[in-house]
């Protein structure tokens, strides 16, 4: 909404968001939490959807351990999988390569499953 306010030449009816890897996660979370319908559509390429399934050397450095004694709540709160059902009002495109060795294809498959279970139309490649 800051873009629309500060840059009036931006068309509110054609604003989209996209990202790759962490950016794909951020794009998906932005759509899931977009209560004002800022974005008309979005695209995630190889999004992280569950931080417990991501590279532990990176994740644990910033989030700690996914244990009760450390930060299990942070992991649950930061899961795109837990918020994906809120993507309903947006057009969503999910892309993931099967040879991605950073964000494994499993992450997108889990997201696609939740989107399907909640009758959320999306495109996948």
Residues of the domain holding 117: 16-124
What average pLDDT does the segment 67-89 reach?
A: 93
Q: Which letter does DSSP use for residue 71 in this model?
A: T
Q: How many domains does the chain have?
A: 1
102 part of a folded domain: yes
pLDDT tens digit sequence for 16-64: 999 999 999 999 999 999 988 889 999 999 999 999 999 999 999 999 9
pTM for the model stands at 0.91
**36 domain-assigned:** yes
- Per-residue pLDDT for 89 more than 80? no
For the beta sheet containing 123-124, the strands, ordered from the edge strand earlier in sequence to the opposite edge, are 16-20, 41-45, 91-95, 123-124
Task: Residue 103: give its domain's CATH number.
Answer: 3.40.50.1820
The DSSP 8-state label assigned to residue 18 in this structure reads: E
Over the chain, what is the mean pLDDT? 93
Scanning the structure block, which residue is given the tokens 């992450």? 107
With a cut of 80, say whether residue 88 has pLDDT above it: no
Residue 88 falls inside a structural domain: yes
């Amino acid at each position: 909404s800051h873009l629309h306010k500060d840059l009036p030449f931006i068309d509110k009816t054609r604003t989209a968001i996209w990202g790759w890897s962490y950016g794909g996660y951020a794009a998906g979370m932005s759509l899931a939490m977009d209560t004002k319908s800022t974005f008309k559509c979005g695209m995630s390429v190889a999004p992280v959807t569950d931080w417990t399934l991501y590279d532990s050397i990176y994740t644990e450095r910033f989030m700690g351990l996914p244990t009760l004694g450390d930060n299990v709540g942070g992991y649950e709160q930061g899961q795109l999988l837990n918020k994906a059902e809120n993507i309903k009002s947006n057009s969503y495109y999910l892309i993931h390569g099967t040879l991605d060795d950073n964000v494994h294809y499993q992450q997108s498959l889990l997201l696609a499953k939740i989107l399907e279970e909640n009758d959320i139309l999306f495109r996948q490649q």
